[in-house]
Structure 1
């Protein structure tokens, strides 16, 4: 049996729909912004298709042909028909790519929960950044405190060394003074003995 005329109408309509709807219609082509952000539109595609026709009872030509004992009949009848298709494209969301971050931003938020779910990744990232910043600040404070303690200990050790040096110098000075006093006492004693011996000699004369 040959092709019916309505098949040609359906094929034409389906080919037209295929040309209109492809992968790039659902997931659009990336859009590059000036600040390095890539935006990819995602759309919802709806389409409808209808075809119909009618054969008229007018002149009918029947051709019979016998071949290999099989009867093949070709109908050539008056025919009227039509086909139609409709396509609806609605953007539903946008994929926003910025560096390593990928964010899905719906066009229409149905509830507050959807918004919260969308902002959870950003919130977690900010919390992690805050924790890391706090840890770094604590480490810096700890290093500063340790450096201050080391400086104070160094100053104390320097002071102790200076005090020890001063103590040794004072001790040496005291020993020197004592030695000088001892020497002066010896000299005085020797002078006294000399005077006494001279007096005794003078008395004998």
Structure 2
């Protein structure tokens, strides 16, 4: 029986290897006419099960068994590179608060970088304030 199960599992695993390769997870880069590179990123989930049974000894080598496998491929996002700038374009909206926070990090970093770069720009020299003379009313003499 063990040889039959081994063969059954081996064939099923071979089929899974043929279905799931690295190009399913990190897709092949797509270069557009404008020079933008788009790389699809997917989540691959698979399951596998097998089983078998020996039939009581008879004149034949009887065996009953089966195997099954399932694969799902879910697109998650696209990496988009344009002129040295890399962005993530999510396919699905955030489902949890943690997802939303993680998705906001690149934008927050961009905004902070812009503020830091803005403060590093040379500021015009401050002009000295011109003195203004004001007249102070005289107090009447005290009696």
Same fold (TM over 0.5): yes
Q: How many pairs align? A: 122
Give the greater-gyration-radius structure (CA).
1
Q: 1:3/1:47 Cα in 2 relative to 1: closer, same or farther (>3 Å)?
A: same
RMSD of aligned C-alpha atoms? 2.6
Structure with more of its chain in helix, by fraction: 1
CA distance in 1: counterparts of 2:52 and 2:18, whole angstroms:
24
**Residue 123 (structure 1) aligned to one of 102, 105, 111:** 111
Report if the CA contact (8 A) 1:105-1:118 is conserved.
no
CA distance in 2: counterparts of 1:55 and 1:44, whole angstroms:
38
- List runs of 5+ in structure 1 lacking aligned partners: 61-75, 140-205
CA distance in 2: counterparts of 1:78 and 1:29, whole angstroms:
46
Deviations 1:42-86 (A, max 9, x none): 1111100011111112515xxxxxxxxxxxxxxx72111111100
**Secondary structure at the residue paired with 1:97?**
strand
Return the TM-score normalized by structure 2: 0.71
Larger relative contact order (C-alpha < 8 A, sep ≥ 6)? 2
Report the equivalent of 2:79: 95
Return the TM-score normalized by structure 1: 0.51
Report the equivalent of 1:53: 52
Q: 1:38/1:125 Cα in 2 relative to 1: closer, same or farther (>3 Å)?
A: farther
